């Protein structure tokens, strides 16, 4: 929604909004754009009689501002529908969908097109280091959009991505998530097939050939040419950690290499998908690899927040067991001699409901010590679920105590990896402050 606000602002509209607990980088972006943020549920914000109200999917019936909106008769729409109607119409849309990796892959793709001189528009759920914000209009025709499977709005329960009508579609992976919206994996797969149905016959679907769930969705019907990456697909990659070289090949006929410093096999997969999508709009493989050698990463995706007394503190958005393990595996692979402290806030709706509790302990195994914060409304026993033989873990109800004890245990050469899809009560800075002052020693 913050990105939609940025696009509306760039298009020349006066934009205000309402939210709660807005934190960087989105709060910084909105402030720099001059977008006024009001109290989430205050109906007074509608007294100015705006020309249109764009309703985010966190808003539900029964909230004061929603009831006031419906009673007012003001025109309203959803973020995805507004985007489709006002921005994406007549654009060549490149959409990146999947349970994991959407933000990183979308950012890589947008940067590859930018470096090729195509000046794409984009709407991405994170701030890439090569750009100054999460969204921009760009130049015709290309527009990169992070295509989310979460539902659209209280009045439109379809997945957001069915609104986007991409010509180039990336399908990264498919797992069960969003338990507050979908009863099972089959329900999410249905939405993915609705997305596939919207891709024109002369378009392209770039699909993870290693994902059995995606294969089953494709088998339900596909009317568009597909290219596969990983598995037995045309697109393959080799990543040499010692030389930090990434080599990508297409159908054994075209290949190129670049220096690659991103961590983890999941980011190699993201790079493969981005390069394949870029080739569909005319960017040569060699040019894409050259651009990736200068890809600056994405905030909150393995982002180094600081180093104090030889202890490095990183921030990551991982909150699903698959993403948690992939992130930790990447750090373990890149830093085999370091002790790794995994600091996790099980904050997502799916995690709070306990859907993934049986997989959580295993996902944290690559860490030397798992430190967990227990949210007040967690619906399951965190201590019991995380206990595995030989696994070192600690559970806290207070982030101040958590930061102090991590700082006290950490020593020179250690890595502290903080994982949450929220602000985590700014624990990253608390950790750095505790390390700097020696609190916890």
Contact 285, 279 (CB under 8 A): yes
Q: Does domain 2-74 have CATH number 3.40.50.300?
A: no
Q: What angle do CA 158, 161, 164 make, to 5 degrees?
A: 120
Q: Residue 260: phi, psi to the nearest 5? A: -140, 120
* Tokens linked to 123: 């709407």
Write the pLDDT tens digit of every residue in 137-152: 999 999 999 999 999 9
pLDDT bracket for residue 376 (50, 70, 90): confident
CATH superfamily ID and name for 80-292: Mur-like, catalytic domain (3.40.1190.10)
Mean pLDDT value across residues 369-387: 82
Are the C-beta atoms of residues 105 and 301 closer than 8 Å to each other? no
387 pLDDT more than 80:
no
The span from the CA of 186 to the CA of 183, in Å, is: 8
At residue 422, the pLDDT reads 86
With a cut of 70, say whether residue 441 has pLDDT above it. no
Q: Check residue 169 and give its pLDDT.
A: 98
Predicted confidence band at 227 (pLDDT cuts at 50, 70, 90)? very high
Calpha distance 326→332 (Å, rounded): 10
- List the chain domain ranges: 2-74, 80-292, 301-437
Express each pLDDT in 230-277 by its tens digit.
999 999 999 998 889 999 999 988 999 999 989 899 999 999 999 999
Counting other chains too, the contacts that 333-338 makes at CB distance below 8 Å and 24 or more residues apart are 333/241, 333/263, 333/264, 333/265, 334/241, 334/263, 334/264, 335/415, 337/413, 338/413, 338/414, 338/415
- CATH superfamily for 301-437 is Mur ligase, C-terminal domain (3.90.190.20)
Nearest alpha-carbon partner for 378 in 395, 354, 396, 401? 354
Beta carbons within 8 Å of 335's beta carbon, 6+ residues apart: 415
- Helix crossing, 399-409 with 427-437: angle to 10°? 50
Average the pLDDT over 187-196 and give the result: 97
Assess contact for 228 and 235: CB atoms under 8 A: yes
- Give residue-wise pLDDT tens across range 65-99: 999 999 999 999 999 999 999 999 999 999 999 99
Q: Enumerate the β-bridge partners of residue 207.
A: 171, 228
> Please, which pLDDT band fits residue 388 given cuts at 50, 70 and 90?
low
pTM over 0.85: yes
Whether the Cβ atoms of residue 260 and residue 237 lie closer than 8 Å to each other: no
Q: What is the pLDDT of residue 331?
A: 92
């Amino acid at each position: 929604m913050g990105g939609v606000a940025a696009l509306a602002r760039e298009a020349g509209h006066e934009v205000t909004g309402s939210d709660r607990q807005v934190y960087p980088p989105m709060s910084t972006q909105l402030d720099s754009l001059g977008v006024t943020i009001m109290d989430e549920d205050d109906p007074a914000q509608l007294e100015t009689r705006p020309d249109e109200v764009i309703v985010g999917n966190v808003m539900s019936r029964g909230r004061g501002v929603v009831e006031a909106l419906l009673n007012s008769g003001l025109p309203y729409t959803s973020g995805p529908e507004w985007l489709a109607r006002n921005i994406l119409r007549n654009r060549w849309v490149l959409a990146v969908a999947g349970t994991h990796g959407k933000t990183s892959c979308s950012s890589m793709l947008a940067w590859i097109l930018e470096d090729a001189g195509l000046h794409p528009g984009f709407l991405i759920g994170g701030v890439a280091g090569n750009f100054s914000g999460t969204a921009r209009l760009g130049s015709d025709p290309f527009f990169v959009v992070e295509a989310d499977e979460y539902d659209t709005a209280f009045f439109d329960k379809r997945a957001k991505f069915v609104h986007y009508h991409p010509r180039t579609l990336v399908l990264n992976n498919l797992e069960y998530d969003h338990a507050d919206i979908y009863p099972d994996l089959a329900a999410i797969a249905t939405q993915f097939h609705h997305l596939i149905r919207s891709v024109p016959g002369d378009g392209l679907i770039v699909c993870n050939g290693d994902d059995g769930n995606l294969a089953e969705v494709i088998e339900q019907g596909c009317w568009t040419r597909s290219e596969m990456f990983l598995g037995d697909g045309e697109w393959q990659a080799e990543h040499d950690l010692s030389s930090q070289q990434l080599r990508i090949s297409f159908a054994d006929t075209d290949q190129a290499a670049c220096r690659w410093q991103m961590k983890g096999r999941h980011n190699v997969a993201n790079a493969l998908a981005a390069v394949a999508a870029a080739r569909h709009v005319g960017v040569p493989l060699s040019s894409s690899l050259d651009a990736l050698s200068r890809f600056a990463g994405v905030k909150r995706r393995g982002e180094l927040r600081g180093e104090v007394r030889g202890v490095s503190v990183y921030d990551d958005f991982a909150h699903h067991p698959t993403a948690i393990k992939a992130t930790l595996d990447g750090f373990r692979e890149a830093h085999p001699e370091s002790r790794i402290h995994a600091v996790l806030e099980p904050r997502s709706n799916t995690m709070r409901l306990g859907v993934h509790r049986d997989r959580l302990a295993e996902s944290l195994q690559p860490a030397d010590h798992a430190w967990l914060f227990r949210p007040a409304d967690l619906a399951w026993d965190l201590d019991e679920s995380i206990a595995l033989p030989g696994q070192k873990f600690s559970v806290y109800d207070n982030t101040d105590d958590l930061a102090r004890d991590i700082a006290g245990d950490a020593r020179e050469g250690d890595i502290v990896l903080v994982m949450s899809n929220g602000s985590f009560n700014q624990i990253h800075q608390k950790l750095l402050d505790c390390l700097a002052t020696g609190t916890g020693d």
